[in-house]
Chain A
């Protein structure tokens, strides 16, 4: 089944404790992206990657890192989480780019930073 998977689905952590949220897709998509969703703000793009070893900042990249060592995986790293990063996070993937094709979204990761 074609899908985007995220782990963990739920995470409660404390300020400053490094964490990684994994994202994997099995559709051989070149493009992958991370979003955060907050009430009243819709989805805001954090980082995106057009292909392996190619990443770029979205609209809200501060406090986040990403890597794209393999085509199928695009982990989101919070080196020192803070309470304002409490949010619902979505990973997405698509063919060459969102400007040319629809994105497929993962189920989401709900993160709480205390």
Chain B
């Protein structure tokens, strides 16, 4: 069945370094992917999205890469800051339906 999974539950990086958070999905028909950031005590917040007709999309300090061949996407955060500490979720939407499937999340720790 459909699933969206993450390779690592936690990631620890030094402040100023780049962070890479990975995500795998199983539904090859998925056509829309989103990364959300969830800070403690808050709801998920949109970071960046990408559609299946793209391989890469850049935002402010963030880049999402999509590899449809291996059904994998990643979130890259440049010059990671303490404020980036949070749980990051990848989510899958589309596929002709209106459900959203979330991965289990990766907790990012930023060391000062």
Contact = CB atoms under 8 A, between A and B. Distances in A.
B95 interface: yes
B61 interface: no
B97 A99 contact: yes
Contact of B31 (A4, A35, A99): A99
Contacts of B46: 102-104
Interface stretch (B14-22, B63-71, B99-107): B99-107
Tier of interface size on chain A: 20 to 34
Nearest to B47: A102
B45 A105 contact: yes
Nearest to A91: B43
Interface string A49-79: 0100000101100000000000000000000
A104 B44 CA distance: 8
Contacts of B41: 108
Given A42-B105, A99-B94, A58 B99 contact: yes
Interface string B28-50: 00011010100001111110010
